[in-house]
Chain A
Amino acid sequence: MAKARRPYRRARVVFGLFLAGFALCSLRLSWLQIVEGPDLARAAEQARVTTVRIPAKRGDIVDSAGTVLATSIPTYDIYVARQYLWDWAHVGYVDAQGKEVSEDAAVRNGRLVPGVKATVKGYGAVEAARVLAPLLKRNPAELGGQLAGNTGSTIVATNVPVATWRAIKKLAIPGVDGVTSYRREYPNGATASTILGFTARSGDGAPGNPLEGKAGVELTQDRRLVGKDGIRKVEISPSGQTIPGGFSQESPAVNGDTVTLTINADLQALAQDAIDEAVTSHAAEWGTVIALDVKSGAVLALADSGQHTPEEVRQGKASTSGSRAVQYTYEPGSTGKLVTFATGLEHKAFGPLTPVTVPYEITMKDNQAFRDSHKHGTLALTAAGVLAESSNTGTVQLGDRVSDKQRWEMMRALGLGSKTGIEMPGETAGMIGSPDKWDRRQRYTTMFGQGMATSPLQVTSMVATIANSGVKEPVHIVESYRSPTGAVTKTEQAPPKQVLDPDAASTLLKMMEAVTTDEGTARAAAVSGYHTAGKTGTTQILNAAGGEAGAVSSFVGALPAEDPRVVISVVIYKPTRGEIWGGTVAGPVFAKVGAQAMALLEVPPSTKPQTLYPQHSG
């Protein structure tokens, strides 16, 4: 019997093959979609989506009145990718009169306007250098050399102003790109430059690296000033243009905090001018002026002579990148007598009216001889008179009434020998040896501020404590931080501490008032309209051989004496022209800065007549 012929056999075979093919395709599709899908999608996204870093703006630094001392302004770093440049033709357009016209005027709807001709102005790196050089203020030949070649990319300029970048972008040179950056700007130039410090690119200093504080407040407050960079992911076309409506994801940058300082820019500028003038007129090496708010310990001005702009300091043009007022030490000289008097008054070893017989020369225990700065007969002075006259022979007699340990403890309590904690780098602690290490002479010299080393800031803080009824306020220069959202956070300071008996402090302050009167050594430091309490200091600098190597002239005082608001110290190192005395060299600077400080703080002048302790006994 013949085998039955199955109908549609061929069709079934074809269908079967089709089914098998379909199954294979489905399998492959499933493999691609399910197994390899995520990786392929990621790869595709990477090809289309580019990630751009959004640099965070470094925070501003402002003074107590909001005057901007340091800010960051947007700039661009210009890169050139040579492979896009080497075959570039710079096309220009000229009209019928042969006059050059812009591309916008020459081309409409992608076609040349009738009468306008396209001409090639130049090719490749040479042409790019020709048009870029004037904008970047560079030599065309040098720039052309940098752009030559067809591989790699190069940075042709950094910190280019926005307007310049826009002009470059308009040229539409392929391969030329700008990356957003920030430039640190100091609008006040050299004002407060030793406080502010400077910044530089972090790491190897390459363009694009974020700015980093290298000195001053820029360094100590770096953590607050630095923001957090953001990231933007966008879909781009093959030509590199962002596709509007395409994939876009942005994590915005968080700018750094604004740091508010306690200083006043006007007072700071005046203090710098005053100390520069004094240093120049006395042919001194350097000088410093510090103004402290007595009630809070806030620095109102901290000026060093010969300040350069932060940019100049960064370039190494300044002799020091820090503040001498904070980092340098000197022998305080007669301003150090205040410690001896404070100790005596605190321990009631003597009072302001205690009589002292003051010869020109005196020999103390262990055959230690001392003399005063100026010849005089034997005087019958009170302790207040000894301070006003700044007598060494009188001071050592009074200092002998207290123990060395008591004086040393007072030095420490008033902040000598330890850092003040000001938010500036490189602060010195000074050198105050313990009494058991003082030799027979040093135990006397420390009574009048020699044989010890202090910073100008420590001495200013010491007098501020005396002027503040014996309460030591923490010295600080950073007032607060303001976040980008506007939230203000006050800086945390150590609590004030009573380190000197209030009566002893007010008595000592009263004794210091005579210093700026006709009875004292610093009439030039008196501020018109205000009672002034202060102390002069003139210290001889000895060289290694024990010879004289100049002097340090200083004055430190409080204004107004009846209720001090400000303490100002002036130190001038090695004056070589004219007088060297603290009262005559540093006193006028104090008067100038003091008058301005009183006006700025709107302190009313002293109205009550000044009463002084008798200077002479008997």
Chain B
Amino acid sequence: MELTFPDILFRRLESIANLSAADRRTVACLPLDVRDFPREQDILREGDVPSTSFMVLDGFVYMYKLTGQGSRQIPALYIPGDMPDLHSTQLKVMDAGFRSLTPCKLGFVQHKDIHKVCETSYAITSGFWRMTLIDAAIFREWLTNVGQRAAYSRLAHLICEIFIRMRSVGLTDGMSCPWPFTQEQLADSIGVSKVHINRTLQELRGHGLLQLDGNELRILDWGRLCQEGDFDPLYLHLRDEAIVPRCEEGIVPK
């Protein structure tokens, strides 16, 4: 399913904040420069000073940091509706890079236009602010994930998170959702080697928790996946708790 602006941004903002009809009209009038990116292309590099922020309209994006030795860490993954560099409206120099993970459609908004809509509505300011605060909450959770959980649990946790975030913007189909991540991207996201990711994915499959079919993930046992991943969606701060499936959902009869 492909969504367009402003629907996708409404879905994201309204999953975490309350917008009035007037706020929706204001957001819908944001001038947007829509650009297509092929997969694995730099959107922003560390050190860049952008005058725009972008929102993901279609596709997936990741943030990356490189160590002095050239090892890569992916500290965050972004899905449609997210505004990965919204913080650049306040922090002028990029301290991390952003790349397209899949072919992407991105909408670039001038910082001055974001500042302008924020001046007109406290609810919009609050929604944007909340988006960046939730990004920070996700970083805290990822840090805990990478620092304290075993690979099996880390990967289960990441799968639960992506699924719930996709579901909160209406991009899942039952217990299925797009899963475009390569083993290398997953390895750099949770800090283990490619071979270990490969092994861990096959363990999760072997234990009947999920199925991977090309670029699609299907969760077969949501309750157990959450349990193995030690996953509690509290840190995503979603308004609608019903977004989270019930434990018995997604269990495929044997």
State yes or no: do A and B come from one complex: no
Residues of A within 8 A of B (CB): none
